[in-house]
Structure 1
Amino acid sequence: MTAPSRSTSAARSPGSDPRTRKIRAIMAACNRLGLDEEARRDRIEQISGQRSLTRLTDAQLGKLLDGLNGGWKAGRADRPHLGKIRALWWTLYWLGEIDEPGDAALNAFVKRQTGLASLRFVDHRHSHSVIEALKAIATRAGVLWPTDADVRALEGSIPGFSQAHADRVAVLQRLDRLCADKVMVFPIELARREIGSRANMHHWSEREMDEAIRFLGQRWRAKKPRSAQAEG
């Protein structure tokens, strides 16, 4: 038999299939954002009603990838309280207050707080108690959450600044203090270089702030002894 031509081999290569490339890009984005399997399936379900990538159409795969690369603003629009709860849970992880950032541990915390079996059942009526409990743990860990007056002042002076930015700044400032004490000199400056920004952190996008939090959090956790699981 004659050997297949180079073009035929390339066409049959799994990596050359557009659908396969989309799935690989989705998995890479999930890893970058720190989403475990359960969180990833929740995201898939939000846009398609399915919980498996293999069941999504090409159009749905594209929408999912766009959502991941765009910070999931659209995907969280209908249930923003779930995104905030997950963000706070990861905040506690980067601060070293919990050791299991995945949904299994978060669901156990939610159940202790609300009696509900998992995060997906938390509605606006129950979300307040969960959010306040998580913020209280972060406060005990040294995070100084902004006041409404702080946020209004920054909103008036920085275009596009929001409560979400202000909360992230509070976490960054705490990680900056922690890392400066025991890990590195000028933590925020190193984080700025890591994300490739020349701006003051108050002018970073939410995505840049998340990347900086992850950068500093990873280094803080590498130095901090493992802690007991946070309890409600």
Structure 2
Amino acid sequence: MKHIAAIHVLKGLLKLQDDDYRALLNNLVGKTSSKAMTTAELSKVRTHMDGLAKRMGVQTPAPKGAVAAKERPQVRKLKAMWWALADVGAVERPADAAACTQAVEAWAKRQSTGSKVGRIDALRFADSLQLNKLIEEMKACGDRVGAPTL
């Protein structure tokens, strides 16, 4: 997202009145209009306003290209593998997709207690490397119970 657009979104999220917003800009960079600022000044204002939003607990705009955990290919793969394990009776069959998600989350959290994967409180916090290690762990589990190739 471009700096000016992000600054105006943050202004709305922070519920700043126009006078307060312009005073903030003046205090930070000595200008009262975002259009008159350089890229460095815009970046400084955006960083400051992001910090304010985080301290106030306001949700900031997601970076462009951010993908939710439920959409990540590795998470979808883990869920598909869980269903395959359920088909051979290695794990309890989930009642629905939400139950499958909950089961995979719980399994991932248990797996993360070891040093192989690293601590994971929820799949949405896992990075790609951790998710790939979880996939390998689930493949090994599938091999042990005779599940079809995962």
TM-score under structure 2 normalisation? 0.41
TM-score under structure 1 normalisation? 0.28
Of the two, which has the highest radius of gyration? Answer: 2
